[in-house]
Amino acid sequence: MIETEHESLLESIHGVLKTVTDPEIDSVSVLDLGMVENVEVEGSSAKVSVLPTFTGCPALDIIQRDIVNAVIEVEGVDEVEVSFLSNPIWTTDRITELGKSQLKEFGIAPPPANHNPGEPWEIPCPYCGSVFTTMENLFGPTACRCILYCKSCKNPFEAMKPVANIGDE
């Protein structure tokens, strides 16, 4: 009985985490961005461990606050602690398939799969799917994005920078 209560509490927390989004990309939840590493519940206190995307991302404090505000609303939770972990590191392959399609809706091309750091990558336009695109700026409006231009449909668009774990030198 107690076991099931615990599980349903965890499930409810996961449910509300689907409503917490990155304030700078508000179409994707922190779960689908792959930022949530772990959720633990002990009695009525919840612990959520989160992986920061980019170190200097100013949205991190807001995300932390929004997670607390969302989880505290779950029935059976009286206390919420959100901590940022430095290990493991967040990489773009943690973004779920749903997250990738939601990024596209927002006009952001999802990061390429299996990209080797340092090598050029092919980024299809999120609007028309063409790969006839050019990189305008490796940097963009937020730390995790870059700016491109589609030569097929003539739209500027953004892409998520690929972030992969790098091996030893």
| Residue ranges in contact with another protein by CB under 8 A | 54-58, 86-87, 89, 117-118, 136-143, 147, 161, 163-166, 168-169
Specify the residue, 46 or 160, whose C-beta has the smaller distance to another protein: 160
Distance of closest approach, residue 54 Cβ to another protein, in angstroms: 6
Specify the residue, 9 or 157, whose C-beta has the smaller distance to another protein: 157
Distance of CA 35 to the CA centre of its chain: 5
Distance of closest approach, residue 5 Cβ to another protein, in angstroms: 35
Specify the residue, 3 or 168, whose C-beta has the smaller distance to another protein: 168
φ, ψ dihedrals at 24, nearest 5°: -95, -10
Q: Which residues are CB-contacts of 97 (< 8 A; sequence separation ≥ 6)?
A: none
Closest by CA to 135, choosing from 154, 156, 111, is 156
Distance of closest approach, residue 79 Cβ to another protein, in angstroms: 22
- Pairing of β 36-42 and β 108-109: unpaired
The two structure tokens encoding residue 12: 């409810």
